[in-house]
Amino acid sequence: MKEFKFEIVKKSSEVNLARVGKITTPHGEILTPCFVPVGTKASVKGLQVSDLLDIGAQSVLANTYHLYLQPGKDRVEKNGGFPKMMSWVNNEKKILPSWTDSGGFQVLSLGAAYGTGVTKIATSSLIPSLSPKEKGAVQKNPLAKIDEEGVTFKSIIDGSLHRFTPEISMQIQHSLGADIFFAFDECTSPLATYEYQISAMERTHLWALRCILEHKRLGVSNATGAQQALFGVVQGSGYTDLREQSAKFMASLDFDGYGIGGSFTKSDIKRDVSIATSNLPENKPRHLLGMGEDPIDIFEGVEAGIDTFDCVSPTRLGRHGSIYTENGRVDLTQSKYKDNFNKITTDVKSPLFPFTYSYLSHLFRSKEMLGAILASKHNLYFLISLTSNIRQSILEDRFVKFKKDFCGKYYAKLTV
C-alpha cells in the first residue's frame, strides 16, 4: 500500500487559494507551506545534517542530473538511496522525507538557453531588448539537444555523451530512492517563441504518460523498498492559455501531486501559477519548482495555492556574501559593513544571532570558509522560518497582515 497522502488542514479565510496542509510520506510528514533545502549532490553545500535539523528543515531535494553523473545511480542505490547515503535522519536515526527532481531543468540550462545568461525567470524589460534570434533562444552549440523521445546531452564533468528519456529518468529516480519525485519534462527558456512553447508543452505531456507507465512498471524503489510518489509537471511558460491547458491535462492523469515548472516573467509569476493551481485537483499537493529566492515569491506562491518550494539561491547567495535580514537582503562584501558593529539579527534562533555585520564582513574578506557556512545556514533558516510563519498566519487568520508587515519592512530602503 502506498504510504503517501495529502491532507488540507485549513483553507485561508482571507485568500482564496492559500491553505495549510500535511504531506505524509513513508519517512514522515511534511507540514505545509514548506521551504525545501536543495542538496544537489546529496549534500546541502557547506552544511551538515545536524545543521539542517537545527534550522527546522523537514525534507531535502537532490538533483537527478548531478547524482546520475556522479557518483552514479547504481552507487546511490547500493547506499540505500540518497537520503540514507547522506545520513538524512532525525535524532532517532530515522530517515526523513526527501525529493528528487527529474533532470528536466538541464534541458533549459544546458540546451536552448545555454549561453544566453537566461534562467527560469525573465523580466518584462529584458525580453523586448533581445534580438529575434535571442528571443527564439537559438543556440549553435548547446550542451543538450531535444527530440521527441528524450534529450541527449554532454556531461559537464568530462564532456561524455549521455541520454535521458522519460523511462530513464524514472529508472534513475527509483534508484535514488526519494519519497517524492517528478516526471521528466522540458523546462523551456522564457525567451522561446510561442510556437516552441506549444511543442515543448505537448512533448512534456507525452513524456508524462510515459513516466506514469514506467513508474508503475518499476514498482517500489530498489534502494529503499518503499513506494514512491510521482508528481506531474505543469508547463506553458508565461502564456495563460498554455498554463491552463497544461494544468487540465496533468490533472486528468494519475499523479500523486503536481509541480509547477517552466519559465516565468517575474511580474507574472502569481498570475501564471494561480491559473495552473486553479485547474489542478484541490486534494493533491503542489510544488513550485526551483523558486523561492525572493520572499515575495513565497508569499505570492502561497496565495496562488502552492504548498512547497525549493530553490538553490539561499546557499548560493550565502556563499557569495549575501544574507537575508528583516530589512532586506544585505551584501556583506560591501565596504560599509567593515565597521558596522550592529548585531545582524535579534532572532536568537538564527545561526547569525551572536554576530555583527563587521565580523561577517571580515570572514568574507579574509576568505574564511566559516563566513559562507554561517551565511548559508542563516539564509536557509530565514526562508524555512518564513514559510513556517506563513503557515501559522493562515491558521490564525492573519495572513494578509503578516504579509503586509513583513514586506513593508523587508522591501523598505535598507537603514543598517
Could you give the residue numbers annotated as active site? 101, 310
Strands 264-265 and 286-288: unpaired
Least Cα distance to 13 among 393, 402, 409 occurs for 393
DSSP-derived 3-state class of residue 177: coil
Phi first, then psi, for residue 161 (nearest 5°) are -90, 135
Q: How far apart are CA 327 and CA 359, in angstroms?
A: 19
Q: What is the DSSP letter of 1?
A: -
| C-alpha cell belonging to residue 383 | 526562508
- 157 CB-near residues (< 8 Å, 6+ apart): 69, 70
First to last CA, the chain: 55
| C-alpha cell belonging to residue 224 | 529503499
DSSP-derived 3-state class of residue 100: strand
How much of the chain is helix, strand and coil, in % rounded to 5? 40, 20, 40
Q: Let me know the angle formed at the C-alpha of 121 by 64 and 55, rounded to the nearest 5 degrees.
A: 60
- 77 CB-near residues (< 8 Å, 6+ apart): 175, 176, 177, 222, 223
Least Cα distance to 238 among 103, 308, 135, 387 occurs for 135
Cβ atoms < 10 Å from Cβ of 237:
28
- DSSP assignments along 255-311, one per residue: -SEEEE-S-EEGGGHHHHHHHHHHTS-TTS-EEETTB-SSHHHHHHHHHTT--EEE-
CA–chain centroid gap for 235, Å, is 15
Cα Dmax for the chain: 62
